Structure 1
Amino acid sequence: LILAAMNFYIVEALTLGAVEGFAVPKNIAIGIGMWLGIIMWFNVWFVIWPNQKIALGIVDAPAEQKPAAARTAMLFSRTNTLLSIPMLFAMVSAQNIY
């Protein structure tokens, strides 16, 4: 996001090129990758990490809550793993679209 802002294409990328009428395929591709990255960041910091803290006992929680927290963290971690493949593809392909 910082790199996109410094190079003045953050709005075009985050709107998937809608600002320009979807005329620049690079903005669509990098935008898809950026949105997937944002979703993955949100998963880590607001779902996986809080549940991991419960499962590992870093945060006090009832014993019956720990297995559920561990399962939630595992499922969202798997989701992030699956999202990393299309995110990487979208971000790398953006440089190859003419």
Structure 2
Amino acid sequence: MKEFTLQQKVTIYDNYGNPKDEWEDIDTIDVSIAKEKLFKVIGDQTYILHQPMGLTRYDKFEKKYQYKLVSSSEEYLIESFVIGKLTQLILKEVIVYE
């Protein structure tokens, strides 16, 4: 398990009333991430996709919000989740260029 900062997307309004989306830190959670191999067949060609999946004990996710996991070297958007004894996360890797 690796430690990540869980962030939630919130809308903030500036002095002129214009909406601006920002990421707000919610909690620090432990997540185990593995890359699943998915095969996609289109016509006669087969594509191999690598989909990151995560497991965590954190269970306070809500469907109406967007979440992101951030560490010092990695960043993932949470596309979907299934809450149970362990919460399953379907992730999308964010590549940050500096």
Taking structure 2 as the reference length, the TM-score comes to 0.21
Larger helix fraction of residues: 1
Larger strand fraction of residues: 2
Structure with more relative contact order (C-alpha pairs < 8 Å, separation 6 or more):
1
Taking structure 1 as the reference length, the TM-score comes to 0.21
